[in-house]
């Protein structure tokens, strides 16, 4: 008890001037912002840690943060081959929602959404989680039926969702074309009002800063080259900066999970493919809600800066190069113009790609592995950003206890042996 209090005390005193608030901002304005301390240290890599987390993206940093905060782990390093937040954390379209159909998915994503709702305060870093609603459109009779199934499942799981008529959609999204003559007319949709977007970089930075304050060493530019494994158990990690001894290793390397698993001597049921996104030039607000359309493969929101943020479908071939094919962009933008005719004269400012690791059932892996004390958190496919806090939270629990909790358990690697898949591809969309 005493120890705990002392620890809390030392934490606040070391990082006193680092507390972010309007007050501290004003105070620092007087000193011309010369007294801000570093958001995170750049520590030297130590030769030994209790726990090494590979991958300083949102998920990895969250994992380290919760390990330090909730499990009292002290000697933790997060290592990354590049700069923190440089993978899919900084490349996604920032959509957050928990309106999944299967119970297992609802479990993890709702857990995550609840953490999002208090995250800025938790981290003392404004992640700009904006609950502007996520509206999913249905364009065919078949999709309407699928929507009923999904909405009913979401409702009975106690998660918010609301079915909307085309007219109600038009009220929320005045720029959408609901003409029934469209090739894919808007026949209805459903909205999760608690869903929305967040500032992706801020999530990585917020977790990095908070983890750093709890003593976690974040080591950037520290690429993993191999593992030390003795008698089937992990003993350390080989990196370009030297070998690190570790009792436990958690691996969260979206886009490269298969590659790193191979270094540890096993294979993952994962496909790695490029997924593209793009932004328009900033314009005054025209879109307050996140819009998703599965049948035309596009999703769009407008950022606080005013840029339209659009996402497309994944390329159909495997690749590790962080760029995709032009035809995907062309198809998605045609769909966007169909639904939102005013987009036509706006201009694309930047497009980019990230690599998504996707499992055969389009659900993630949060799991122990064939190597003892080596854990993997991967396979989030096209939608990992929304899971960041929840994923880190349950993964920390798994690493600390060597057993998955009830939220993580369904996502074990073992499901590909047993066949208990959590198929989130959505229904196949075919008929006689």
Within residues 37-56, the interface with another protein by CB under 8 A covers: 37-42
Going from the C-alpha of 75 to that of each of 46, 357, 377, the distances in angstroms are 10, 29, 20
Range 107-136, binding another protein (CB under 8 A): 118, 120-121, 124-126, 128-132
Q: Answer yes or no: are the C-beta atoms of 343 and 286 closer than 8 Å.
A: no
User: For strand 242-251 and strand 48-54, is the pairing parallel, antiparallel, or unpaired?
Assistant: parallel
Q: Does 193 contact another protein by CB under 8 A?
A: no
Contact call for residue 162 and another protein (CB under 8 A): no
Q: How far apart are CA 190 and CA 147, in angstroms?
A: 8
Residue among 132, 47, 98 nearest 303 (CA): 132
Is position 428 an interface residue for another protein (rule: CB under 8 A)?
yes
Please report, as residue ranges, which positions from 58 to 87 form the binding site for another protein (by CB under 8 A): 82-86
- Residue with Cβ nearer another protein (38 or 406): 38
Binding to another protein in span 241-300, by CB under 8 A: 280-286, 296
Question: How far is 271 from 319, CA to CA, in rounded Å?
Answer: 9
Kindly tell me which residue out of 134, 147, 176, 378 binds another protein, with binding defined by CB under 8 A.
Answer: 147
Q: Which of residues 318-357 bind another protein (CB under 8 A)?
A: 321, 323, 325-326, 329-331, 333-338, 341-352
CB of 69 to another protein, least distance (A): 18
Minimum gap (Å) between residue 323 Cβ and another protein: 7
Any idea which residue has 């330090």 for tokens?
68
C-alpha span between 136 and 294 (Å, rounded) = 8
168 touching another protein, by CB under 8 A: no
Report the sign of the C-alpha dihedral through residues 71, 72, 78, 84, in that order. Answer: positive
Task: Closer to another protein by CB, 146 or 217: give it.
Answer: 146
Which residue is it, tokens 């933008």? Answer: 333
User: How far lies 193's CA from each of 113, 147, 155, 159, in Å?
Assistant: 12, 16, 13, 10
Shortest approach of another protein to residue 160 CB, angstroms?
Answer: 10
Residues 217-236 contacting another protein, CB under 8 A: 220
Q: Which region among 14-22, 164-172, 226-234, 367-375 touches another protein (by CB under 8 A)?
A: 14-22
Check binding of 27 to another protein (CB under 8 A).
no
């Amino acid at each position: 008890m005493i120890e705990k209090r002392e620890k809390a005390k030392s934490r606040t005193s070391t990082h006193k001037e680092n507390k972010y608030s309007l007050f501290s901002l004003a105070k620092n304005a007087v000193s011309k912002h010369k007294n801000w301390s570093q958001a995170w240290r750049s520590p030297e890599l130590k030769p030994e840690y209790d726990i090494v987390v590979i991958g300083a993206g949102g998920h990895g940093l969250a994992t380290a943060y919760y390990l330090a905060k909730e499990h009292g782990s002290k000697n933790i390093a997060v290592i990354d081959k590049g700069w923190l937040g440089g993978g899919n954390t900084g490349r996604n379209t920032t959509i957050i929602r928990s309106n999944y159909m299967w119970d297992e998915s609802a479990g993890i994503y709702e857990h995550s959404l609840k953490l999002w709702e208090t995250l800025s305060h938790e981290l003392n870093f404004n992640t700009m989680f904006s609950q502007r609603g996520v509206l999913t459109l249905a364009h065919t009779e078949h999709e309407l039926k699928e929507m009923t199934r999904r909405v009913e499942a979401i409702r009975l799981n106690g998660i918010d969702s609301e079915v909307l008529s085309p007219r109600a959609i038009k009220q929320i999204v005045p720029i959408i074309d609901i003409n029934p003559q469209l090739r894919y007319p808007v026949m209805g949709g459903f909205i999760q009002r608690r869903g929305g977007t967040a500032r992706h970089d801020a999530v990585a930075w917020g977790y990095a800063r908070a983890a750093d304050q709890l003593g976690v060493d974040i080591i950037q530019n520290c690429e993993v080259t191999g593992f030390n494994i003795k008698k089937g158990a992990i003993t350390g990690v080989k990196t370009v900066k030297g070998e690190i001894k570790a009792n436990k290793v958690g691996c969260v390397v979206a886009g490269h999970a298969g590659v790193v698993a191979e270094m540890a001597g096993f294979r993952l049921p994962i496909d790695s493919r490029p997924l593209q996104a793009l932004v328009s030039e900033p314009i005054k607000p025209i879109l307050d809600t996140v819009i998703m359309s599965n049948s035309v493969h596009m999703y769009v929101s407008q950022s606080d800066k005013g840029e339209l943020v659009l996402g497309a479908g994944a390329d159909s071939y495997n690749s590790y190069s962080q760029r995709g094919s032009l035809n995907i962009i062309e198809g998605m933008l045609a769909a966007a113009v169909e639904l939102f005719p005013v987009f036509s004269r706006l201009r694309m400012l930047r497009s980019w790609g990230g690599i998504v690791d996707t499992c055969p059932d389009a659900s993630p892996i949060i799991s122990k592995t064939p190597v003892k004390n080596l854990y993997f958190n991967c396979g989030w496919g096209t939608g990992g950003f929304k899971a960041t806090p929840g994923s880190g939270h349950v993964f920390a629990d798994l690493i600390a206890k060597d057993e998955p909790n009830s939220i993580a358990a369904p996502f074990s690697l073992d499901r590909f042996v047993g066949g208990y898949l959590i198929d989130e591809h959505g229904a196949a969309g075919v008929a006689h």
